[in-house]
């Protein structure tokens, strides 16, 4: 795998990042360790987890793997905090308050068996805690040596801009990454966030690059998800998610992905991942695999070199719908970027 810098930090990471949300929930520990071994053997250096994944078990599984291999000095480890962990969480065991983040980070370090993480990310915005408080708290983690760099996830444009401005005006540790949902089926971040990240030097770490499995081609218009699929194994979540994406636009995108995959002798997943990796400001694409076979297929995306024409075809068929105001108005008065997005 090639290495890319993480935002403006100067830290190098592999162009694919191993996401570990399934570890301890959908993936057994022995299988998770085999996936971690294979990822590193393929040149991967970047591993992402979160305290909330499997109520902390994902971090423990990664931690035991790190201990067995003798540490994480040659790897970049990222985790996240924000949400309550486990069923016994108390009212203050969540959010971005100084009290909760301090406890959350210390607990994550214990589970991972390390004295610091390379990237600590707030998992989502907290409407109850001023951004100044959690930005100062994160800066304190950096100064204490518990965290090397600071990132965020699932923020809107104004929220990310506020965090970036607070860091700059107060001389705090800067936000170096944004971890958003981004794939051919979900390109809404292009309305504001991608431009903001480019302006501020914030790297993108896309999660769900395969659209929850849709871009692998395993879901069909004439059959609801069943069996060993993420939507099939969770009927309550599956019905809602399936209905949301069981629309003509989805199948037009899948048809184009399938056509290009056939031309390359590749899988649909590999083409979808190659598209994400080719987008501006994407530092590393998070692979959320459940099995070793899925990892092996996903890593194969690095061999798929999409042409300018193929990228344009995928861009055109997947162009997001632009809300009329203010984006539609901006387009009408001559913003070439939004006009291009609108096809």
Task: Estimate to the nearest angstrom the gap between the alpha carbon of 81 and the chain centroid.
Answer: 14
Residue located via tokens 């190098």: 12
Q: Does residue 212 come out as left (phi exceeding 0), alpha (psi in the -120 to 50 range) or beta?
A: left
CA–CA distance, 306 with 187 (Å, rounded to integer): 18
Yes or no: say if 42 and 2 are a contact pair by the CB < 8 Å rule.
no
Catalytic residue among 53, 120, 242, 327: 53
CA–CA distance, 203 with 180 (Å, rounded to integer): 11
Structure tokens at 110: 């214990």
Residue by residue, DSSP assigns 294-337 as HHHHHHGGGG----HHHHHHHHHHTPPPPPIIIIIHHHHTT-HH
CA–CA distance, 245 with 111 (Å, rounded to integer): 37
Pairing of strands 117-122, 147-153: parallel
Q: State yes or no: is 219 an active-site residue.
A: no
Q: Which of 286, 76, 53 is nearest to 180 (CA)?
A: 286
Helix axes 57-69, 29-41, angle to 10 degrees: 50
Residue by residue, DSSP assigns 132-182 as HHHHHHHHHHHHTTSEEEEEEES--HHHHHHHHHHHHHHTPPPEEEEE-B-
Q: Which of 162, 196, 183 is nearest to 277 (CA)?
A: 183
Instruction: Please list the active-site residues.
Output: 53
């Amino acid at each position: 795998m090639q290495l890319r810098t993480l935002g403006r930090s100067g830290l190098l990471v592999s162009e694919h990042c191993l996401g570990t949300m399934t570890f301890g929930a959908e993936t057994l520990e022995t299988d998770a360790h085999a996936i971690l071994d294979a990822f590193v053997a393929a040149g991967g250096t970047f591993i992402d987890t979160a305290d909330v994944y499997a109520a902390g078990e994902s971090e423990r599984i990664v931690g035991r793997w790190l201990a067995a291999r003798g540490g994480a000095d040659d790897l970049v480890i990222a985790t996240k905090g924000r949400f309550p962990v486990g069923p016994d969480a108390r009212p203050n065991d969540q959010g971005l308050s100084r009290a909760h983040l301090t406890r959350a980070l210390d607990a994550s370090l214990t589970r991972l068996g390390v004295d610091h993480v390379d990237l600590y990310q707030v998992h989502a915005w907290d409407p109850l805690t001023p951004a100044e408080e959690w930005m100062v708290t994160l800066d304190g983690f950096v100064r204490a040596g518990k965290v090397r760099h600071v990132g965020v996830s699932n923020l809107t444009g104004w929220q990310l801009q506020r965090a970036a401005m607070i860091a700059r005006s107060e001389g705090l540790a800067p936000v170096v990454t944004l971890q958003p949902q981004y794939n051919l089926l979900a390109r809404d971040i292009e309305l504001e966030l991608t431009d903001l990240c480019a302006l501020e030097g914030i790297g993108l770490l896309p999660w769900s690059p395969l659209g929850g499995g849709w871009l692998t081609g395993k879901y069909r218009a004439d059959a609801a998800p069943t069996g060993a699929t993420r939507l099939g194994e969770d009927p309550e979540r599956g019905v809602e998610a399936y209905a949301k994406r069981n629309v003509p636009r989805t199948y037009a995108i899948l048809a184009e992905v399938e056509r290009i995959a056939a031309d390359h002798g590749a899988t649909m997943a590999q083409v979808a991942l190659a598209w994400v990796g080719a987008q501006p400001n994407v530092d590393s694409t998070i692979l959320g695999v459940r099995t070793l076979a899925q990892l092996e297929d996903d890593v194969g995306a690095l061999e798929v070199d999409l042409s300018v024409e193929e990228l344009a075809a995928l861009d055109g068929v997947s162009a997001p719908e632009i809300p009329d105001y203010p984006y539609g108005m901006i387009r009408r008065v001559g913003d070439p970027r939004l006009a291009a997005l609108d096809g």
